[in-house]
Structure 1
Amino acid sequence: MKHYELPVAEPLAGAAPASAPEAARGREHIVFDNLQKRYQGPQGPVAALSDVSFAIARGEIFGIIGRSGAGKSTLLRTINMLERPDSGRVLIDGADVGQLDEDGLVALRRRIGMIFQHFNLLSAKTVAENVALPLRVAGVKPAAARVRVDALLDLVGLRDKADAYPAKLSGGQKQRVGIARALVHEPQILLCDEATSALDPETTQSILALLRDINRKLGLTVVLITHDMAVIREICHQVLVLDGGRKVEQGEVWRVFGDPGAEATRALLRPLQHDLPADLAARLSPEPQGPGASGVLRLRYTGAGRAQGVPLAALAALGPGATLLHGGLDRLGGHAQGSLLVSVPAGILRQEAARAALAADQIEVLGYVAADA
């Protein structure tokens, strides 16, 4: 095999170099322009992507979420042209990647790292050999490749596992190997295809922390697909919601979580929300039942109105009979958002001043509970 020294990777034609200055961060990096993709199913053509248009900024962590069959994987794979859209364009730094010839696609795919749900490691090769494999295929000299591999194993915290085989690794360690391998060509973009779906919650948190650290240190644009809103909440700056191959919602994570506009988004968020507990729901009635009844309010905070949180004085304004029943607030992107359930004496529901003092973004009366309930 012919060997060469590990070079500084060349960008796509018209693209900014990998070491783009800080000023380039935030500019459009990947643009999807009216993508359409259909597959032939048993009952006829199936639309995997329909009229999908949006942009991802350089250096951000961008999440794409949707239920099974929503089109997430198809959309992700158009970035490196593993899936070619039937129509529309994918632009990276202004270059239409669908117009690249074979050599151009090879160069493109070396500039885009990818990690997978099931790791895709070769069981007969050591950790170092798995990470070095793309460099070996590219003809990089072994000495230069070893320097690069050692640096990446340091980055992902696996330098002491260089000579271990995948069978001796935990799931989280295998994924760290996959991440190191995806970074060998110094990519500008890192694609994550359900990268934490096969991991337990604790390991998932450690992998997400690593991806966040890599994004910060290397300035990579990270695009991940998931079916888990908890992953989006933990790591992403922006989120796109797909449903049936269509974009139904997009925005900053705190905005989408705080005030979802699409039913698909609300359904995906439901497992994370503080819904009405079953025991309380069973006691609710639509009208007050007897003297001393209390009304149950849901107070929603989108993060837009009270970005820094909810003053305790606002809740205290409900009076001494008010009780905090359930709920909580999350802090996303510097904005406090969530919901609280409170019970208050039924009479206070007619006091507009008390409602205003709450300063909630949305107030909903869920029902009433009797005094002896």
Structure 2
Amino acid sequence: MASKPNYYRFHDTKSLAQIEFSLPNDIKSDEDLLIEMTNNSLKINNKKGKLLMCGKLFRNIDPEESIIHVEGSKLFISLHKHTKEVWPVPIRSKLDDEIDAHSAWLLLNNIIRKGERKEAFQLLKTAADDIHLPSILTIIKSYFQGSIDFDLKEDKSKGFYYLKKYADFSLDKKYLYLTASCYENGDGTGIDFERASYYYQLAYKEGDIDSLFDLGLLYYKGGHNLDQDYNEAKRLWNISASTHKNTQALFNLGHMQMEGKGFNKDPVQGKKIMNFACEEDEEIGISQSLEEKIELEINPPLQEEQEREMETKMEREREREKKKSKKKKDITDKPFWKSKYFIIGVGSAVVCTVGTLIVLKNKRKRVIKKKKKFLFW
């Protein structure tokens, strides 16, 4: 284009390429224009010879079948194609000229092939900022993964900006879910469970049933601008399990009942629900650590009694050891001649000696008595 118009739009079908752009105020009808058209070029001047538009066409057209007319302050050009194919773009314009989003999107593919990466990215950004959905999807992928085509490094924060833009405009359930997931995990943005819950709700409303499970998980965890709410998590997972047959949601409900979160605590019933979910879905399983935890939850009194008995036994053992240590200390600290063992030993020896003397004395008396009887009998 020779001059920068205030408005420019391109629309492409299999049989026509339609161009629409604004005209200077002095152009009122087709008669005020001088049009030169061939099968591969287009040039438009006003009657004073001032160039309004020119360019080379990427595909051949039929000038006789093409239509150009003025309507109000706009010029409408319908170029009739020879071939039944979509053009990359009808007219190649300079990058600093105004260009509509669709034209920019088509044009950048030709520029990429020529190796003009920075110019191609400028066209892509122009189209994306003008809410051209295919361009937004391309720029999202380019920012999140980096792009050789556009000589672009990974920048997840910018990628998230366009992801949210696409989700807000298109209400596509897939991209609403991805936006919510980014808010939940802090991927390209700050962690914000409140915003994540908003986009999960939108995604579910648009038909993404997995969003309901993830929404329940947000309320179960809580934090990051969202209050923890076990009852809400229970409600959402109940819907997910009963309506959408989500076995993971069913497993989580069993786990909640086992721990008494949102339910009256019932480890036995909770385990039954978890086992049923595992039978329905082979990908779900109960880990060894969880099995041990469930066992402790089911039999807590027995475990506590064993611990009490063990503690009592250890206490008695400590008391016995303490008494033994005290006895040894007493024996070690006193002189032997003062100890009770010495006194008892001496006492026993005295008693034995006295007893022996008494016995001998009595025996002597009996012997003497017998002798007397013998002598005087």
TM-score by length of 1: 0.25
Greater Rg by CA? 2
Answer 1 or 2: which has greater helix percent: 2
Answer 1 or 2: which has greater strand percent: 1
TM-score by length of 2: 0.24
